[in-house]
Structure 1
Amino acid sequence: MLFVACIAGFAAWGCGEMTNGFFRPSEESSARRFDFGALNRELRIAGTRNAAVSYGLLGGLLGLALGLSAAPWKGPAARSLGPGLLGLIAGAAGGVAGSYLVIPIHFEYKDPSGTDMLQSARAHGVIWGLAGLGAGLAVGLSGPHPGRPIAVRSALGGLIGALLGTVVYELVGGLAFPLDRTTDAVAASTSTRLIACISVAIGTALGILAFRPPAPAPPEVPQAESVP
């Protein structure tokens, strides 16, 4: 599962690089030298949309990969592909919804110095936590013995693991890359955006593995009595 999570993290990073900065303020608002109100509003909208695209991709690809990795791959194709599709939808929905929920607030109260890692961790934690929860839910509903308790535990593991990945990203980004604006909604450099994707992907997988109950022991086959 860790290997699959790493692949999903790299894939999300690659797709995110192709769409990074897709939404931008209009030329009209950018050209106003003494009126920054319209520019700030458009920067907030563009930043929210860019974050939604980037983290929707991360949550969707992570949920898809982990859901498929935990699928039984026996029986009907729908049973094998269903967890992956569920993870794709739930993970993407978590990343997108979290972005639209917290990024506007993050822009409103953002520290101009860009050094408030706690505020950044709260914003990123909500987004990535919801994405990890969706991926964990997909894993919990797959496998040979799916059920509500296992789904709840896997979803909780995905949430907690994604939050731990967020902490790793904030510490590494803030201490090792202080000039890369890692406290922004989306980091400024390619390397720190990769760290974000990999940290969340590995953290989510570790959380799911830690909370997943052990597989039930196979039933004992009664031994035939020997005839003297």
Structure 2
Amino acid sequence: MSKNKANFLLSLLVGSIGLLGSLLPASVNAATVTVVNLDSQGEGFNDTTPASPVGGNSGTTIGQQRTIAFQHAANIWGSHLQSAVPIRVGGQFDPLPCTASSGTLGSAGPKSANRDFAGAPVAGTWYPIALANAIAGIDFLPNDNHISATFSSTIGSTGCLESSGWYYGLDASPPREKLTLSACFCMSSGMDWAFSLTLTVKLVPKRLDSMTPTCATLSVMGQHHLVFPV
């Protein structure tokens, strides 16, 4: 990614956050974003495979490191968003479409949408549930998660992006060919205030992190499918 392109995307993000802020209560300057574990025992966030702490992630199992990485990304978004209503993200790891050289990293989307509520800026317009909640100051979905996120549990295994794998560090300094989980989650969940997003990668000679200087920069790209070189 060129410096000019990165600067353009960052400027677009700043403008988008500013526009969103103009729709929300002035007294609210942050949001609480909580990751809800939807995995069964022994899988995903509950994977007990031992792991060594890495890149600021203190988890000692794969499941713990995934949980910490997800919540780290959620906290980043919380610091940029404005909502008096806590935002719940239901997260899980499952096998997703994949081959030895390309695959789906993950996807995320709003669980619901609302329109014509009190305070809605535009009549007849559907707002993703987390955004609708933030604008109205009411939880329209009190008994469910607001966002659903599913990420691949097989990246780096036989037959699935075999030369790659998840990096659970929080320092954005993965080994070559590794994919930073927190950055991918940050990008996909960022779309959920207005879009649904699926992240796809193909193995070509560039690393994901060399193309994406910050998760905030790419969060403004609204395509349904983004293909990142690894």
TM superposition score category, shorter chain reference = 0.3 to 0.5
Normalised to the residue count of structure 2, the TM-score between the two structures is 0.34
More strand by share: 2
Larger of the two Rg values belongs to structure: 1
More helix by share: 1
